[in-house]
Amino acid sequence: MKTRIIHTKFWDDDTVSNLSPTAKYLFIYLFTNHRIGLTGAYEITNRVISFETGLTQSDIDKAKKELSELDRCRFHRNWVFVVNAQRHGGYFGEKLMPAVEKEFYKLPLDIRDTLCIPYPYSSDTTINHKEETIKHNTEIEKDLTEGIDLGEIPF
């Protein structure tokens, strides 16, 4: 079972305190329902939101617009990205980063790009070590074959 922490300072946030009651309710729902993962991005329909919250389609549309304008949530098709989801109701730390990265790469590329979901690691982290590996393997092969006359090996 997933758990979320809602920090009491949530209510002291200027942006949150200026949200309409419906937008506050939707915002809390979006970062506490069982679909949200470590990245804060997930797929959900307005029909499901309406069923689980009791909000009307009109209420959902207005609240989504309010949250979008304040960049608290980003919406595209049936996808939502809760900006700063970890800050508002999650856990975070170095040990979770591999799981965050794994979940991030499961998201469709167009959704990552459209919703501007940040890459979970800082930009100075190298993710492709192929060049170093090739260089290292070439040096090993050179060391292994040094001094051997390849013409004498029967294969």
Predicted confidence (pLDDT) per residue in 37-94, tens digit = 888 899 999 999 999 999 999 999 999 999 999 999 999 999 999 988 776 555 666 7
Task: Tell me, yes or no, whether 31 lies in a domain.
Answer: yes
- 104 within a domain of the structure (yes/no): yes
Residue 41 lies in a domain: yes
Angle, CA 80 vertex, CA 100 and CA 31 arms, to 5°: 70
Q: Which pLDDT band holds residue 144 (cuts at 50, 70, 90)? A: very low
pLDDT at 113: 83
Q: What confidence category does residue 146 fall into, taking pLDDT thresholds of 50, 70 and 90?
A: low
Q: Model-level pTM?
A: 0.70
Please choose, from the candidates 70, 118, 120, the residue with its C-alpha nearest in 3D space to the C-alpha of residue 95: 120
Residue 77 domain boundaries: 8-114
CB contact set of 112 (below 8 Å; sequence gap of 6+): 41, 104
**pLDDT value at residue 133:** 47
> Is 142 inside any structural domain?
no
Q: Examine residue 99 and state whether it is found in any structural domain, yes or no.
A: yes
φ and ψ of 83, to 5 deg: -65, 135
How many domains does one find in the chain?
Answer: 1
CATH of the domain at 110: 1.10.10.10
Query: Residue 88's pLDDT is what?
Result: 59
In a domain, 98, yes or no: yes
* Residue 125, domain member (yes or no): no
Share above pLDDT 90 across residues of the chain, in percent, rounded to a whole number: 40
Cα-based distances in Å from 82 to 68, 100, 117, 132: 10, 14, 9, 37
Q: How far is CA 91 from CA 71, 83, 87, in A?
A: 21, 14, 8
So what's the pLDDT on residue 155? 33
59 inside domain: yes
